Chains A and B, each alone.
Chain A
Amino acid sequence: MTDLERRYLRLLAAYPADYRRARGAEIVGTYLDLAAPGRRWPSPADAADLLRGGLRQRVRAAGAVDLMPGVRLAATVALLTATTLAGVWVVLELRPAPIAGFGEPTLGPFVSLGIVAWTAWGLAALAHALAPGRWTRRAVALALLLTAALVPAGALTGLPRPPLFVLLPQIGLGLVALGAADRLPASLRAVPLIAAGGAGLLGATLMSRNMFSASYYTWTVVPVLPTAAVVVLALALLLAAGLGLRGDLRGGWALLILLTPVGLLALQPLAGALDTAPVEVVPSWTALAATAVLVALVGPALLPLTLAARSHWARVTQPRRGHLPQ
């Protein structure tokens, strides 16, 4: 056995054991047929292909053929939510407090560095309208990176940034939105862009320049995220129930995937429930941090746990499922 064959066999561990026994030699044989003479290591593209194929096969063996359509459905809802929130936050960023009055640091005409990330989310909505699929995923990845980069950028420059309870749900939504579908009906493509614009107009009404300057901590702004959590949860439940009635399980998978971003959007009320100290507007930092860690650990674990349970159930009820039909 050559080194290359041994390494391909190692990567084959991504596949379920029974599938490996039935198909492993054939798959590795095809990789070896395609490999250039003298090659000793699988290419990164081959490794990614094997890992993707293994994951797909595990999903299939678990009887969860609706999972990938569920991922795409969750991505659509997540992108819509993320761009809508970005629309609100752009308006907020345009309402910096007058320094003389409040002494709050600002970023020139903007409240904080957040304007960079929110603009990138607007571009992601535009990409979704013009080029769904790969370009949308790239735009979402860029917006996601810029959102995450606000934390070190704020620390390094000393400039203000949006609080973590605003950034974390945006990152959670962005990670889910990376599963955006390649093909979408034309009527759906512009929805995130329209929603972001609409949310911006609504935000402009809520944060009237004549009333007061805005910050992520003012009483009209703090309820935005919990309200978004309720709306997304209600939408996900409706999709799961509506599609489930037709025997379509992708709504259920989408709900399971969206629970993590929903938990992050609801960070303040969840942390408030944990916080024993009296809460005025925003719960204490420690309560928020503990809740965020809890949501980030429990939420993503629900999907593999459900898949494992489905897989176990499928093995018990249909022991031959997942094998190559002869």
Chain B
Amino acid sequence: MDTPLREPTFLILTALAGEPLHGYGLIGEVTALSDGRVTLRPGTLYGALDRLVDARLVEVDREEVVDGRLRRYYRLSPAGDATLSAETERLRRNVEAATARLAARSRATRPISPRVVGGLA
């Protein structure tokens, strides 16, 4: 799978890093992780899961039937764990670099307090 990961893919892998989840659970977890910014619909979610299963980053964990509805649980594979770790490290380094640059910029552009004009007359 190409890196950097797209945000929905990153969030799906992050959601599955906690515990195996079924489709409905995954949608809720991705919404919570993104503070409501990313809301996946089932058609989009299962398309993404197909690609992740093909790339061997996600595996089928188990199946259950609840209230007559099939629920298939997915879990992060060892390859998915490695990909998510590498992507998280890449993002962390980017965040650190950006934070350092912004802090330096903030120091450089801080307004200088006006000197007192005149003397001690």
A interface, CB within 8 angstroms of B: 23, 25-27, 29-34, 45-46, 49-54, 56-57, 60, 324-326
In the complex, the answer to whether B43 meets A50 with C-beta atoms within 8 Å is yes
The residue in chain B whose Cβ has the minimal distance to the Cβ of A47 is B43
Contact: B47 with A56, CB < 8 Å? yes
- Is A29's CB under 8 angstroms from B71's CB? yes
Contact A33 B44 (CB under 8 A): no
A26 and B72 contacting across the interface, CB-CB below 8 Å: yes
Do A53 and B47 form a contact, CB below 8 Å, given A45-B41, A46-B41? yes
Q: A34-B42, A49-B42, A53-B47 are in contact. Are A26 and B23 (CB under 8 A)?
A: yes
Residue of A nearest to B45 (CB): A30
**Cα distance A275–B53 in the bound complex, in angstroms:** 56
Q: Is the CB of B47 within 8 A of A57?
A: yes
In the assembly, what is the distance between CA of A51 and CA of B43, in Å? 8
Q: Is the CB of A26 within 8 A of B44?
A: no
Report the minimum CB–CB distance from B52 to chain A (whole Å): 11
Contact between chains at B27 and A27 (CB < 8 Å)? no
Whole-angstrom distance between the alpha carbons of A56 and B44 in the complex?
Answer: 9
Q: Which of B41, B53, B54, B71 is the one whose CB lies under 8 Å from A26?
A: B71
Residues 28-44 of B, flagged 1 when their CB comes within 8 A of A and 0 if not, give 00000000000001111
State the majority secondary structure of interface residues on B: helix
Closest CB in chain A relative to B69 CB, distance in Å? 4
How many chain B residues touch A (Cβ–Cβ < 8 Å)?
19
Q: Which residue numbers of B lie inside 8 Å of A, CB to CB?
A: 22-24, 27, 41-47, 50, 53-54, 60, 69-72
Q: How far is the CB of B27 from chain A (nearest CB, A)?
A: 7
- Say whether, besides A49-B42, A325-B53, A33 and B69 are in contact (CB < 8 Å): yes
Q: Would A31 and B42 count as touching, CB distance under 8 A?
A: yes
Residues of B within 8 A of A34 (CB): 24, 27, 42
What is the CA–CA distance of A222 and B81 in the complex, to the nearest angstrom? 61
Once the chains bind, are B27 and A30 in contact (CB under 8 Å)? Answer: yes
Neighbouring A residues of B43 by C-beta, 8 Å: 27, 46, 49-54
Query: B residues within 8 A CB of A33?
Result: 23-24, 69
Bound Cα distance from A27 to B69, whole angstroms: 10
Q: Which residues of A contact B45 (CB under 8 A)?
A: 30
Determine which residue in A45, A49, A50 has the highest number of CB atoms from chain B within 10 A of its CB, and name it: A49
Q: A326 touching B23 by the CB < 8 A rule?
A: no
A53 & B24 in contact (Cβ 8 Å cutoff): no
Report Cα–Cα, A36/B23, bound state, in Å.
Answer: 17
Q: Are A30 and B47 in contact (CB under 8 A)?
A: no
Residues of A within 8 A of B53 (CB): 324-325
Determine the chain B residues whose CB is within 8 A of the CB of A30 once the complex forms: 22-24, 27, 42, 45-46
List chain B residues, Cβ under 8 A from A45. Answer: 41
Set of chain A residues within 8 Å of B47, measured between Cβ atoms: 53, 56-57
> B42–A27 contact, CB under 8 A?
yes
Given A32-B69, A49-B42, A56-B47, check contact A325 B23 (CB 8 Å). no
Q: In whole angstroms, what is the CA distance A30 to B50 when docked?
A: 15
Chain B residue numbers with a CB within 8 Å of A325 are 53-54, 60
Residues in B neighbouring A49, C-beta threshold 8 A? 41-44
Chain A residues with CB below 8 A from B69, complex form: 25, 29, 32-33
Report the minimum CB–CB distance from B100 to chain A (whole Å). Answer: 24
Contacts of A52 in B (CB 8 A): 43-44
Residue in chain B with minimal CB distance to A19:
B50
In the assembled complex, the Cα of A33 lies from the Cα of B54 at a distance in Å of 26
> Which residue on B lies nearest to A45, using beta carbons?
B41
- List A contacts of B54 (CB < 8 A): 325
